Amino acid sequence: MAHCPKTSTPAPNPAAPGRLGGRFLLVLLIALLVAPSAWSRENLQQVIKRRGLEQKDVLAAAKTYVPTGKRDEFIAFSSGGQSGMVIVYGIPSMRILKYIAVFNPEPWQGYGFEEESKAVLDQGRIDGRDITWGDTHHPAISETDGDYDGEFLFINDKANPRLAVIDLKDFETKQIVVNPIFQNEHGGAFVSENTEYVIEAAQLAAPLGGAYAPLERFNEDYRGGVTYWKFDREKGRLVPEESFSLELPPYGQDLSDFGKLASSGWSFTNSFCSERYVGGIERGRPPFEAGCSAKDTDYLHVINWKKAAQVAAAGKVEKINGHPVIMMDTAIKEGLVFLIPEPKSPHGIDVTPDGEYMVISGKLDSHTYVFSWEKIQKAIRDKNFADKDPYGLPIIGLETVLETQVPLGLGPLHTQFDAVDGVAYTSLYVDSMVARWNYRTGKLLDRLPIHYNIGHLMTMHGDTVKPRGKYLVSLNKLAIDRFNPVGPLHPQNHQLVDIAGDKMELLYDMALPLGEPHYAVAIEARLLKPIVRYKSGTNTRTGERSPYKTRAGEEKTVRNGKKVEVFGTLIRSHITPEIIEVEEGDEVIIHLTNLERAEDQTHGFTISKYNVNASFEPGKTATVKFVADTPGVFPYYCTEFCSALHLEMEGYLLVKPTGYKAKVGELMPKEEYSQADYEKQVATNVATQKVIDGVVAFITSHNYKDYPEVVALVEDATDQLGRAAEPKKKAEEQAAAGNWHSATLWAGQWWQYQVKAADIGLRAKTYLEQHGATESK
């Protein structure tokens, strides 16, 4: 079917297309019948031997293999590091399902090419500059009552302090916000228990709001901070007007986490350079890394965000760049921020599922520390402070709140939790290991070597109130020798670990060749409910009906001075209009609507040499815009292999040179089809209809209504076949008038709709056969 003849030459086709499809089906059926016996020539033992596998390999394969047509139990969202994207994959298969474009243009999704998505990227402009990349670190799934609800995903950009909102209804980026006061950030995105706020903590201190100050004034003028972005779940957007920040000392704030259950209403942010050291070897000073790890401890910031929100709402703020900031004096007066010494140069701060403990690891300390929330609260209540920092913030003594201190190994970083109460997993960067331990008993339970240099790790729902256990993914920084070499730049390695048993078991290595993922989150697949199509004419980036929505039959081209605006449609296998004629220098705006309702019937659109590209999922309306400043002939076509006649989904943009005059006698090629051509085509169509009737008979006699997938296919096929009526009528009219050329072409168009219907019908038939539908006569 891929080699069906072109629209303009239907007559010379020797074989009826339906019969061709039928033959394909026959061949397929025979292949399916024969194949198992071919495979069974080698048994499992022989394969194990031939491939040099061990029993544990086969077991690992059986634990991770998801047979064709079956689905994964969990879906992971991984940051894509420098790619600026989010990577979506299934667990346990580790099959990559999608790259979601967030901070950078991405052609497949049309992101940054269509006007609608350009508008999203434009929200991320900084100081009038396009920022076409991001360093994504921490994805966060929206939560309800402290557990993932599967509605939204947030991701931060560490390099250019930004947050993005992805709607999990369609896995598309809907919003980017720029932090109004920071110069960079790291401790985002983390969400509160009911996604009231998304937190973003600064990292490298700088004057708030972007002003200049010399490094000599670091202690006085440089500041850190945290921003609480208000989230409006109804609208699915962050609300800058209702968001606020807290000014913090220039301590290099790092990761954050929200409290939950017992510690509800509070948030925690650690820091890694409370020395406030400023390097500068060019000024003869020891480097940052030496000065920033001189002291034994840094500070955990304990913040009462619920109260802070009230203080901000009461207007006790300073406006910086129009954004409300609670200054440190106010924070001290209102009792909003408390510091606790923590092991030096820590990385992760992770609140236990019950919210009772805060787990902190210092990269340069082999212990992981567990702070007790009860003890922290008591110290705050009793005003039991050991000291004040140079800015007057109260410091609670480490010993006052320390519950336990567990030696896990070298370079502990991040912690996640198990479904089993008390059990936690901590990544050991220097040891390249995962430690399994119990934060209640302080006992180390197991250690598993990984390859190599683990950063974050992730368990299923591992940072929620209800971790699911089962699997752990180790997000490794280095792959070194694990995969086939691909040059000096290596992929990253996500290793899947089975944590269901007494001993952790390594199951699978997945190469991730898209930036350096930092954190990932995994949700039960059943909690995600993405749509398969948009309401017809949707601007997918706003979720609203596009004013440019175009219905079948309402396509038009409107000229207004030097502006040419096209309102077109896409449907298998046709772009309307097929010809766009403009003058050199015209501004061309093309709005297209994908009229399809069928699942996965995406069309793409490109015009050669004009950097025009877009993606149209079923129901989507989008716009491309350019100035036709180069005269010439520019083919356009659909970029998705959407049907048997996909190659014919094409057209021409004609850009007439200024002052071009048509020559006398310029005509379309001479018309040439005869009555014989027409009759041959009609015979083909009649034969095709027989095949369709046969397929329909099969489907309707096989309780197809029990299969929603087939019902959708049948609807789609019926729709396609319904479209054949009009060209059929036209063909017959033209034939009656003796216009054989035109009659042949219309008969060809009639046949095309039959071919599409047959194609879909056969897919439905195959589906029924493969799913064991029985005859219901």
Q: Which residues bind ligand CUK (CB under 6 A)?
A: 137-138, 186, 255, 347, 413-414, 455-456, 518-519
**Cβ pair 276, 293 in contact under 8 A:** no
**Judged by CB, which is closer to ligand CUK: 174, or 347?**
347
Rounded to a whole number of angstroms, the distance between the first and last alpha carbons of the chain is: 31
**Judged by CB, which is closer to ligand CUA: 254, or 640?**
640
**Judged by CB, which is closer to ligand CUK: 82, or 701?**
82
**Cβ pair 419, 468 in contact under 8 A:** yes
To the nearest whole angstrom, how small is the minimum distance from the Cβ of residue 393 to ligand CUK?
24
**Judged by CB, which is closer to ligand CUK: 137, or 174?**
137
- How many residues in total does the chain contain? 777
Q: Judged by CB under 6 A, which stretch of 61-69, 324-332, 348-356, 634-642 contacts ligand CUA? A: 634-642
**Judged by CB, which is closer to ligand CUA: 269, or 601?**
601
To the nearest whole angstrom, how small is the minimum distance from the Cβ of residue 164 to ligand CUK?
16
Residues from 579 through 608 that contact ligand CUA (CB under 6 A): 603
**Cβ pair 74, 66 in contact under 8 A:** no
To the nearest whole angstrom, how small is the minimum distance from the Cβ of residue 118 to ligand CUK?
28
646 makes contact, choosing from ligand CUA, ligand CUK, none, with CB < 5 to 8 Å by partner type, with ligand CUA
Is 518 one of the binding residues for ligand CUA (CB under 6 A)?
A: no
Per CB under 6 A, the list member of 431, 640, 677, 719 interacting with ligand CUA is 640
**597 class by beta-carbon count within 10 Å (0-12 exposed, 13-18 middle, 19+ buried):** middle
Q: How many residues bind ligand CUA (CB under 6 A)?
A: 8
260 makes contact, choosing from ligand CUK, ligand CUA, none, with CB < 5 to 8 Å by partner type, with none
DSSP state of 527: G
**Judged by CB, which is closer to ligand CUA: 620, or 680?**
620
455 makes contact, choosing from ligand CUA, ligand CUK, none, with CB < 5 to 8 Å by partner type, with ligand CUK
Residue keyed to tokens 């004040």: 388
- Residues near 730 by beta carbon (within 8 Å), at least 6 away in sequence: 746, 749
Please name the amino acid found at residue 417. F
To the nearest whole angstrom, how small is the minimum distance from the Cβ of residue 261 to ligand CUA?
51
CA angle (58, 61, 63) in 5-degree steps: 110
To the nearest whole angstrom, how small is the minimum distance from the Cβ of residue 413 to ligand CUK?
6
In the three-class reduction of DSSP (H, G, I as helix; E, B as strand; rest coil), residue 159 is classed as coil
Please name the amino acid found at residue 664. V
To the nearest whole angstrom, how small is the minimum distance from the Cβ of residue 427 to ligand CUK?
8
**Cβ pair 471, 460 in contact under 8 A:** yes
The 3-state secondary structure of 383-412 reads CCCCEECCCCCEECCHHHHEEEEEECCCCE
**Judged by CB, which is closer to ligand CUK: 174, or 456?**
456
- Scored b (16 or more CB within 10 A) or e, 661-697 reads eeeeeeeeeeeebeeebbbbbbebbebbbebbeebbe
Please name the amino acid found at residue 740. W
642 makes contact, choosing from ligand CUK, ligand CUA, none, with CB < 5 to 8 Å by partner type, with ligand CUA
To the nearest whole angstrom, how small is the minimum distance from the Cβ of residue 608 to ligand CUK?
41
347 makes contact, choosing from ligand CUA, ligand CUK, none, with CB < 5 to 8 Å by partner type, with ligand CUK
Per CB under 6 A, the list member of 121, 590, 649, 764 interacting with ligand CUA is 649
Is 512 one of the binding residues for ligand CUA (CB under 6 A)?
A: no
Of 247, 254, 250, 296, the C-alpha closest to 271 is 254
**Cβ pair 186, 159 in contact under 8 A:** no
Of 472, 468, 462, 457, the C-alpha closest to 517 is 457
Helices vs. strands in the chain: H and E counts, helices first: 14, 44
**Judged by CB, which is closer to ligand CUK: 186, or 603?**
186
To the nearest whole angstrom, how small is the minimum distance from the Cβ of residue 259 to ligand CUK?
19
The site for ligand CUA (CB under 6 A) is made up of 573, 603, 638, 640-642, 646, 649
